[in-house]
Structure 1
């Protein structure tokens, strides 16, 4: 869903825990956050409103979002 966010001049951040090319990058812009594949920087950007990103981050921090056990 296009949220109308502009990532043209965004600064993309990759985790310092990244050790290969299989990573994502995030960019914080006015009104939201973008997530993209670090090995395909010209590819699609998933965009989130600030509220959506905050809810996601809180869920990760609280343990609500985690990898299922095999």
Structure 2
């Protein structure tokens, strides 16, 4: 499998060890987010050791807008 280039990737390598992880489903969901150094990190609560996704505020806003509009709903 060819490795994808991360050209244009300008997000820092954040230290998430002390992040305040929050669940939107009051702890019942699989996704947690944390606000760290001006970025938004998202992880799988069932596998917190796996890599987190890192969003800029603009990316997070677009993601949330699309989610509210049903962009990611399963049919």
Which TM-score band (shorter chain)? Answer: 0.7 to 0.9
Map 1:1-70 onto structure 2 (within 5 A): 3-4=11-12, 5-14=14-23, 15-16=25-26, 18=28, 23-61=30-68, 63-69=69-75
Runs of 4+ in structure 1 off by over 4 angstroms are: none
Please give the TM-score of this superposition, normalised by the length of structure 2: 0.68
Query: How far 1:7 moved relative to its partner?
Result: 2.0
Query: How far 1:66 moved relative to its partner?
Result: 3.1
Greater RCO (Cα-Cα under 8 Å, separation 6 or more): 1
Instruction: Compare CA radii of gyration and give the structure with the larger one.
Output: 2
- Give the number of aligned pairs: 65
